[in-house]
């Protein structure tokens, strides 16, 4: 293991199925199942020349989770300095310095650093909730930024995604089903065509509470594929077979 200094409130968690270790803290946004599912759903470009960008990267979880799927370079983009620092140290912890870079920057200015039309795959686990005056926000600013669109709206994130992607480049998002209207509208506005959709249900008899989306820049309209649903928990409260395998491997 690389020699990494942890802050007093930090710990190292592991995604056993990928043998990936990630620095986490209870005081800032930590990765959860949505990041694991997004990494598994994403079909990132594989060639060594590929460029992959993880927007709203947090502590780098999604980029780290897809690192074994590609020989390309992964750029994780995170606005919050504390989280970006944790992501950088997690990259070092997993000896991925040659494959993965962390940018502590505002994604709204990202095309000043990364050329437009240069990226093969964009990944994003964005804030789920609109930044409305009546919204009840977490008093922890780290969590408030991660959960509400205070620093970038869904429309702005989609615009940056489209700007970065090459023609026929792919983007993968995880979001909430109740935002599908917004998602489809912003995709169309920014030349992104939905291609695969998978709904995630907490239990078989519950409504979906997450949705995974694949989109293609300048893709042909129609032809959307709805994948089989993913159920997180069995009736007895234990993880379903697929989720258990994604978390712990075989």
For residue range 45-72, list pLDDT tens digits in order: 999 999 999 999 999 999 999 999 999 9
More confident residue, 142 or 69: 69
Q: In this predicted structure, what is the pLDDT of residue 137? A: 42
Q: In this predicted structure, what is the pLDDT of residue 131? A: 59
> Counting Cβ atoms within 10 Å, is residue 95 exposed (0-12), middle (13-18) or buried (19+)?
exposed
Domains and CATH numbers, the chain: 9-127 (3.40.50.150), 177-209+220-233 (no CATH)
Q: In this predicted structure, what is the pLDDT of residue 134? A: 58
Beta-bridge mates of residue 129: 148
**3-state secondary structure at position 146:** helix
* Whole-number Å distance between alpha carbons of 103 and 34: 22
Residue 155: which pLDDT band, with cuts at 50, 70 and 90? very high
Token match 């997180």: residue?
Answer: 232
pTM of the model: 0.92
Q: Taking all residues of the chain, what is their mean pLDDT, rounded to a whole number?
A: 92
Mean pLDDT on 104-119? 97
* Whole-number Å distance between alpha carbons of 91 and 168: 29
**3-state secondary structure at position 149:** coil
Q: In this predicted structure, what is the pLDDT of residue 215? A: 98
pLDDT in tens, 17-26: 999 999 999 9
């Amino acid at each position: 293991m690389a020699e990494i200094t942890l802050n007093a409130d930090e710990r190292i968690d592991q995604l056993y199925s990928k043998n990936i270790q990630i620095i986490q803290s209870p005081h800032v946004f930590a990765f959860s199942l949505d990041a694991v599912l997004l990494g598994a759903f994403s079909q990132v470009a594989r060639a060594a020349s590929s460029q992959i960008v993880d927007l709203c990267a947090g502590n780098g979880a999604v980029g780290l989770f897809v690192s074994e799927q590609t020989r390309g370079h992964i750029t994780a983009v995170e606005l919050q300095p504390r989280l970006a620092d944790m992501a950088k140290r997690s990259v070092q912890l997993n000896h991925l310095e040659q494959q993965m870079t962390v940018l502590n920057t505002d994604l709204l200015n990202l095309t000043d650093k990364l050329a437009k039309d240069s990226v093969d795959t964009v990944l994003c686990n964005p804030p789920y909730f609109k930044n409305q005056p009546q919204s009840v926000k977490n008093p922890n600013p780290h969590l408030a930024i991660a959960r509400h669109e205070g620093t970038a709206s869904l429309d702005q994130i989609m615009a940056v995604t489209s700007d970065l992607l090459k023609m026929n480049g792919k983007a993968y998002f995880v979001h909430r089903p109740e935002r599908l209207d917004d998602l489809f509208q912003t995709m169309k506005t920014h030349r992104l065509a939905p291609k695969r959709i998978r709904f995630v249900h907490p239990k078989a008899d519950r409504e979906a509470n997450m949705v995974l989306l694949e989109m293609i820049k300048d893709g042909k309209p129609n032809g959307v594929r709805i994948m089989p649903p993913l159920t997180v928990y069995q009736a007895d409260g234990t993880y379903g077979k697929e989720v258990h395998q994604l978390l712990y491997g075989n």
